[in-house]
């Protein structure tokens, strides 16, 4: 079994559930993917980091950092950054807050002192449905002067997120589509 097949197995065992669920978007779904059950598992985190780093290192432009919206992306950006270090191609991680920090610097972005001004970054997410979270992250990251070059997810639920991102000029790179995960 290769690493991608093993990650799929973990996602199916730990993260995929059938039933009736209300999603972040407000939509109701007959299945739910709780990505954190996989990304907070040591092997799952490593494999997610490996898959996302492979997407980043194969991107035609040099990506200088990897980030995403707290909380879902926190383990992903850390795992991806750690894998990049193990591969001797280190890229720092950063986290985008849902609300600006209410004290101190008032930052939306944590870890930005590790990024060169205006650098090209990758944004990651565990599961994409409508793309709303990633669109918000893109806006915040670009308003801070960074350039979003790559947007990637572990799972695309295939419910309009990829299309919404593409309309804005950000093609979504995926590890698994909903169809691939369920098969």
Ordered per-residue pLDDT tens for the chain, 183 residues: 999 999 999 999 999 999 999 987 788 899 999 999 999 999 999 999 999 999 999 999 999 999 999 999 999 999 999 999 999 999 999 999 988 766 666 688 999 999 999 999 999 999 999 999 999 999 999 999 999 999 999 999 999 999 999 999 999 999 999 999 988
Q: What is the CATH number of domain 49-177?
A: 3.40.50.2020
Helices (H), the chain: 3-10, 36-39, 42-57, 74-86, 132-143, 161-167, 178-182
Q: Is 12 exposed, middle or buried (0-12, 13-18, 19+ CB in 10 A)?
A: middle
In the structure encoding, which two tokens stand for residue 151, read together? Answer: 């947007």
- Helix %, strand %, coil % of the chain (to 5): 40, 25, 35
């Amino acid at each position: 079994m290769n690493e991608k097949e093993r990650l799929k197995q973990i996602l199916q065992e730990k993260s995929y559930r059938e039933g009736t669920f209300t999603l972040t978007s407000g939509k109701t779904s007959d299945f739910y993917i709780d990505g954190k059950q996989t990304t907070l598992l040591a092997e799952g985190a490593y494999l997610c980091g490996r898959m996302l780093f492979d997407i980043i290192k194969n991107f035609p432009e040099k990506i200088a950092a990897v980030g995403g919206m707290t909380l879902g992306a926190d383990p992903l950006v850390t795992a991806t950054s750690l894998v990049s270090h193990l591969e001797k191609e280190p890229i720092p991680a950063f986290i985008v807050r849902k609300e600006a920090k209410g004290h101190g610097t008032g930052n939306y972005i944590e870890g930005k002192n590790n990024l060169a001004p205006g650098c090209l970054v990758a944004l990651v997410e565990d599961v994409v449905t409508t793309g709303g979270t990633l669109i918000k992250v893109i806006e915040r990251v670009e308003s801070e002067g960074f350039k979003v070059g790559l947007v990637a997810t572990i799972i695309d639920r295939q419910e309009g997120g990829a299309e919404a991102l593409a309309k804005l000029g950000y093609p979504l790179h995926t590890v698994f589509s909903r169809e691939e995960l369920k098969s």
